Amino acid sequence: MKGQPSNGTASFADANVLAAEIVDGALLALPPDYSLVAMEAVRALIRRKAKDLRLLGVPILGLSADLLIGAGCVAEVETSAVSLGEAGLAPRFTEAVERGEIRVKDATCPAIHSGLQAAEKGVPYMPIGGILGSDLVAQRPDWRVVDNVLFIPALKPDVALFHARWADEAGNVWVGRRRELATVAHASKTVLVTFEELRKGDMLEDELLAPGVISSIYVTAVAPAPRGAWPLGMAGVYGADDVHLSQYAREAKTREGFQRYLDEWVHTPRKSFSPA
């Protein structure tokens, strides 16, 4: 499944197969907790002991990144923030930064979106306003200032990984209003998607669904994963499991607690999904 399928139709797999497609050292784009996170594939990545991943927040990172960092899968993070939202700080990320265990490339939400849009459009840079004069610019030698205009280089992830409400028999996926996922899919070399339900036919032929569809032309492989965003939510299907997220935030404050969490909820496949 390396690269885009020659017939423009995504391959069907499972979460473990998707995780095997993400090679060590890959630049991996992940959505924030409020979007569509492929948590079951993230757990599969940890089980396969991925190494040296470079995470790109689209535009911020949350639980998925904290799990991968704590499990020793990450070498570098580029994002505008890493947070568990109302559950507080991301404890494994925080400790890894304090100990110098990972590299961090600070960015802003508009900068990341601009870099992805540049790659989507096939141009080397995208101009952006609002950041000039900040200390951040001096920390990013890859950003260029020309005639008082800041240019963000194209961001081309090796892999985009996210979840979707539906995939169809043609390999298209429906992400609804989460159009940043369409942008990252267009910008990335490989696009791997888990999904809740399979729909018959071709969603691009449905006038109501088509605006929220990412074409199979941009999707490398899809994998069924019912409740695959859990303990995060899927709009219109299930909400975030706030009790579980608070439990994670408490346990992950220590390395020992984090390891207990992994043993119970990641390395034990039967507990990978919350009860319906």
Crossing angle, helix 63-70 and helix 255-265, to 10 degrees?
A: 110
Any bridge partners for residue 163, and if so which?
194
The pair of structure tokens assigned to 171 is 């390999």
Q: Where are the domains of the chain?
A: 11-267
Judged by DSSP in three states, 255 sits in: helix
- The backbone region for 216, taken as left when phi is positive above 0, alpha when psi lies in -120 to 50, beta otherwise, is alpha
Question: Coil, strand, or helix at residue 183?
Answer: helix
The CATH number fitting domain 11-267, selected from 3.40.1080.10, 3.40.50.10490, 3.50.50.60, 3.40.50.300: 3.40.1080.10
Residue 95, SS3 per DSSP? helix
Q: What is the pLDDT of residues 88-109, one digit of tens each?
A: 999 999 999 999 999 999 999 9
Four-residue CA torsion sign, 220, 225, 226, 231: negative
Per-residue confidence band for 274, with pLDDT thresholds at 50, 70 and 90: very low
For 121-173, the pLDDT digits (tens) are 999 999 998 898 899 999 999 999 999 999 999 999 999 999 999 999 999 99
For residue 57, what are its two tokens? 């927040």
Strands 213-214 and 173-174, bridge-based pairing: antiparallel
User: What 8-state DSSP symbol labels residue 207?
Assistant: T
Q: What is the pLDDT of residue 268?
A: 84
N-terminal to C-terminal alpha carbon distance within the chain: 32
Q: Taking Cα atoms as reference points, which of 199, 197, 198, 157 lies closest to residue 181?
A: 157
Q: For 184-218, how does the pLDDT look when each residue is reduced to its tens digit (9 = 90+)?
A: 999 999 999 999 999 999 999 999 999 999 999 99
The pLDDT of residue 54 is 98
